[in-house]
Amino acid sequence: SRWVYSFGGGGADGDASMKNLLGGKGANLAEMSSLGLPVPPGFTITTEACVHYYANGRSYPAELAEQVKAGLAKVEQVTGKVFGDAKNPLLVSVRSGARASMPGMMDTVLNLGLNDQTVAGLADLAGDRRFAFDSYRRFIQMYSNVVLDLDHHMFEEILDEHKDRLDVYVDTGLTAENWEAVVTDYKALVERELGKPFPQDPQEQLWGAIGAVFASWMNERAKFYRRMHDIPESWGTAVNVQSMVFGNMGDSSATGVAFTRNPSTGEARLYGEFLINAQGEDVVAGIRTPQALTRAAREEMGEKAPSMEEALPEVFTQFKSVVEKLEQHYRDMQDIEFTVEKGRLYMLQTRNGKRTAKAALKVAVDLASEGLITKQEAVMRVEPGSLDQLLHPTIDPTSARDVITAGLPASPGAATGKVVFDSDEAERLGAAGEAVILVRDETSPEDIHGMHAARGIVTARGGMTSHAAVVARGMGRPCVSGAGEIQIYEAKGEFRARGRVFKAGDIITIDGSKGEVLAGTVKMIEPELSGDFATLMTWADQVRRLKVRANAETPLDARTARQFGAEGIGLCRTEHMFFDGDRIAAVREMILADDEAGRRAALAKILPMQRADFVELFTIMEGLPVTIRLLDPPLHEFLPHTEEDLVQVAKATGLNAEKLMRRAKELHETNPMLGHRGCRLGVSYPEIYEMQVRAIFEAACEIVASGKAAPIPEIMHPLVAKGEEMRYLRQLTDRTAKQVLEEKGQTIEYMVGTMIELPRAAIRAGDLAENAEFFSFGTNDLTQTTFGISRDDSGRFLNAYIDKGIFEKDPFVSLDQEGVGDLIRIAAERGRVVRPGAKMGICGEHGGDPASISFCEEVGLDYVSCSPFRVPIARLAAAQAAI
């Protein structure tokens, strides 16, 4: 079989489509050669040879030696130089090149082929002895480090000794003779360390480097990188052997890197830097300050050193036309490496450039506008999750970060404010116009007002779906959760982390996108929702099938949702409305009531407030569907938790403290998640659900009476398990609706449906569909109940599961498509048998996760519903799923 593919000299055996076989670098070098671009000739040893190497006890395929020899002969023919020839030596570079770019996996070996004889030949060819011996010592150091595994510090020490002795401070101060002496010492070092001399035979050098590249595929760095980026071990790496060109042959030589567009802003202008008289790694190493490519860029930066456009005008003109050709050819922004040797341009690498979310957006929209790609391709070019970076203020990447501690990136964006430990205090300061960051061990529904008033939230405990995380994402507040190093001493008004103390009132900044807590203020970048963002969203909307709704209950959430393009509300969690202002008092009164009559009296107080909530929501949503979920959490969540709070509440409300305490004890549950919650509340206290349904219909009638767009309420029952339960709830809903509508003499179109949150509900979905007109998959609970894992406590062990590869991802973040997904599939199928065309959607956190959205498209759901700030992400992900 064939293990070696040549390139250069105006043609190539491979092309860009052969990345799997030739690796990214090899495939693009072949493609550039075929395009007639100036590529130093070379050859690529395939990834299959690497796979063979590992499958056969680290031995090469039998034909490899022969094919490498032929490949080398071709390079000699094109360059007119001979490998190992003392007069006219060919030198090569040896580099790894996997299918996916793996930066830093293996260092490059340059100048391979140099030895005591060829170094003289190189000196003659270049007309520069100093350059030749500098190249030789670089080669010995690189080869010894990468192939012979010797620590490069030992070489640097020798160099420093020479410099000290000669009293020079920079490498350029060394003469040819000085370098020659360094080479002698380097060789002596190798011989001393390894007990044998540095290899002088170029063939031995070449095979040593090839073996080192293959071996590097299994080094710890590479393994780690693969794990981080989901790159399979089975791919292997290719090896690229390429004739050397020198950017360090004087002032008409140079080396540099370029992007065809600005990778951080996307601006359509050549961007990059270069160094005159330097070799590739000098640009990256940061020893010398690189120069700008264009004059305009140099002037903007106010630099003195001439740009490439000014220093090497002719080569620059050629370079500009080459990079333009590359971008046109690849139809994407390119990241390019090049070298100029004595006024001649050589292209060493091109690939699609990595970019920020902002740049990705601009480049995609610009390329489509320029006609280089279609609108659909543009939609596919932007990672939906990356939009998060654009929807919130973010920390300016160039600013310094004083990290106090780190936790989970629970809700994106950044915020600065004063440390506050108490939600009431947060509300008070917030109302006074102060920016505050709420810092707590964890949050509960009682903290909603404080979270709302805060610019951001930090918790010491809790995972990605903890209360703080879910609510913060819903509100669009940045949040760092589970910052375990934080210890809060609320009584003292301080927290400690990593040995530092921060007091209430101290300024901190949180980076919810990274999961970091920083000291002081940090510079921010504001989001930009018009322009390219709006354009790409329009293109996405043109192709998607799935509707996108939002989970929202407050007017602010609802407005945000619409601003981000939500097509309705998919989940209004009514319990959040129960905590607001005066309601909590009435809710507690209801909970404390001795009998139904007492409960009804308290509910009558809640009714007008609840009705006003719905009037506001319907008004904002202007006739779009609104799914309202009736009360879900167990009642004890509405009671104060500590004895101290209890006494305080009793005092403030005039409720009996003893009774409050007794009731709190009665309601206490060992497994609240599996307890007296969801529609079980509606079954045992129908008057609660009746009040809610009444509030919904009275609100709807009020809207219609005032001449506004008629709302389409969708009344949703949580945690239903049985057909009989659903029948009971349906009757309760219809009966109440009928009463209200008769009283008002109006008709309102509405639907009654259920959440699917329990395995039994999914399996018996047919029974539920008899009385449920729609299904909404509550995948938060469905994940909990399918796995039997609590979403509030799983943070403690999920990491171990992810580390050990038992879970690929947190199932509360990205849907477990095999298990939970199968239940969704089954439920959708069985539900549709009984009620063809029944409306189905998802409203768990997964509704905003791109991979889960793609699954929803596959199963043929009608909509996804997610927190307002994820609506654009969902729109884009839904479009990509449809393409």
| Cα 789 to Cα 786: distance, rounded to the nearest angstrom | 8
> Which C-beta is closer to Mg ion: that of 6 or that of 754?
754
247 binds, among ligand PEP, Mg ion, none (CB under 5 to 8 A by kind): none
630: DSSP letter: P
**Parallel/antiparallel/unpaired status of strands 569-573 and 547-551:** parallel
Closest distance of CB 471 from ligand PEP, Å: 10
> Which C-beta is closer to ligand PEP: that of 835 or that of 846?
846
Closest distance of CB 632 from ligand PEP, Å: 6
844 binds, among Mg ion, ligand PEP, none (CB under 5 to 8 A by kind): ligand PEP
Only one of the segments 144-152, 243-251, 636-644, 778-786 lies at the binding site for Mg ion (rule: CB under 5 A); that segment is: 778-786
51 binds, among Mg ion, ligand PEP, none (CB under 5 to 8 A by kind): none
Closest distance of CB 719 from Mg ion, Å: 7
| Cα 94 to Cα 240: distance, rounded to the nearest angstrom | 6
> Which C-beta is closer to ligand PEP: that of 279 or that of 783?
783
Alpha-helix runs per DSSP H in 248-356: 280-285, 295-301, 308-311, 313-330
Only one of the segments 391-399, 526-534, 739-747, 773-781 lies at the binding site for Mg ion (rule: CB under 5 A); that segment is: 773-781
| Cα 168 to Cα 150: distance, rounded to the nearest angstrom | 26
| H/E element, 752 | strand 751-756
User: Do 73 and 276 form a contact (C-beta atoms < 8 A)?
Assistant: no
571 binds, among Mg ion, ligand PEP, none (CB under 5 to 8 A by kind): ligand PEP
Q: Tokens representing 502?
A: 């921060």
Amino acid (1-letter code) at residue 12:
A
567: DSSP letter: -
> Which C-beta is closer to Mg ion: that of 408 or that of 782?
782
Q: Which residue is nearest to Mg ion (CB)?
A: 781
Alpha-helix runs per DSSP H in 528-640: 531-543, 555-563, 583-592, 596-621
Alpha-carbon distances of 789 from 410, 596, 673, 827, rounded to whole Å: 19, 35, 11, 21
- 3-class DSSP assignment, residue 629: strand
771 binds, among Mg ion, ligand PEP, none (CB under 5 to 8 A by kind): none
420 binds, among ligand PEP, Mg ion, none (CB under 5 to 8 A by kind): none
Binding test (CB under 5 A) with Mg ion, winner from 341, 690, 725, 781: 781
Alpha-carbon distances of 251 from 132, 278, 311, 314, 322, rounded to whole Å: 16, 9, 9, 14, 22
Binding test (CB under 5 A) with Mg ion, winner from 462, 634, 778, 795: 778
> Which C-beta is closer to ligand PEP: that of 270 or that of 469?
469
Instruction: Fill in the per-residue mask, 731 to 770: x = in contact with Mg ion (CB under 5 A), - = not in contact.
Output: --------------------------x-------------
Closest distance of CB 385 from Mg ion, Å: 24
| Cα 673 to Cα 173: distance, rounded to the nearest angstrom | 73
Closest distance of CB 728 from Mg ion, Å: 19
> Which C-beta is closer to ligand PEP: that of 621 or that of 719?
719
Residue 381: which of 539, 240, 499 has the closest Cα? 539
| Cα 448 to Cα 547: distance, rounded to the nearest angstrom | 29
463 binds, among Mg ion, ligand PEP, none (CB under 5 to 8 A by kind): none
- 3-class DSSP assignment, residue 107: coil
Closest distance of CB 621 from Mg ion, Å: 22
243 binds, among ligand PEP, Mg ion, none (CB under 5 to 8 A by kind): none
Q: Residue 485: CB partners within 8 Å, gap ≥ 6?
A: 405, 406, 497, 498
User: Do 390 and 362 form a contact (C-beta atoms < 8 A)?
Assistant: no
> Which C-beta is closer to ligand PEP: that of 272 or that of 474?
474
> Which C-beta is closer to ligand PEP: that of 337 or that of 553?
553
User: Do 561 and 476 form a contact (C-beta atoms < 8 A)?
Assistant: no
In total, the chain counts a number of residues equal to 883
Alpha-helix runs per DSSP H in 381-422: 388-391
- Find residue 625's DSSP bridge partners: 712
Closest distance of CB 778 from Mg ion, Å: 4
Residue the block writes with tokens 């009293």:
167
User: Do 438 and 454 form a contact (C-beta atoms < 8 A)?
Assistant: yes
Closest distance of CB 844 from Mg ion, Å: 7
User: Do 222 and 213 form a contact (C-beta atoms < 8 A)?
Assistant: no
Q: In what order do the strands lie in the sheet with 500-503?
A: 487-489, 494-497, 500-503
Closest distance of CB 629 from Mg ion, Å: 8
> Which C-beta is closer to ligand PEP: that of 390 or that of 587?
587
Size of the site for Mg ion (CB under 5 A): 3
Is 668 a known active-site residue? no
Find the catalytic residue in 572, 679, 701, 843. Answer: 843
824 binds, among ligand PEP, Mg ion, none (CB under 5 to 8 A by kind): none
Q: What are phi and psi of 602, to 5 degrees?
A: -70, -40
Is 856 a known active-site residue? no
| 256 interacts with Mg ion by CB under 5 A | no
Find the catalytic residue in 52, 392, 452, 467. Answer: 467
Closest distance of CB 823 from ligand PEP, Å: 13
Q: Tokens representing 797?
A: 């062990």
**Parallel/antiparallel/unpaired status of strands 344-352 and 394-395:** unpaired
Residue 729: which of 716, 738, 714, 742 has the closest Cα? 716
> Which C-beta is closer to ligand PEP: that of 571 or that of 879?
571
573 binds, among ligand PEP, Mg ion, none (CB under 5 to 8 A by kind): ligand PEP
Q: Summarize as ranges the residues that interact with ligand PEP (CB under 6 A).
A: 571, 573, 632, 757, 778-781, 843-844
**Residues annotated catalytic, as ranges:** 467, 843
Q: Which residues bind Mg ion (CB under 5 A)?
A: 757, 778, 781
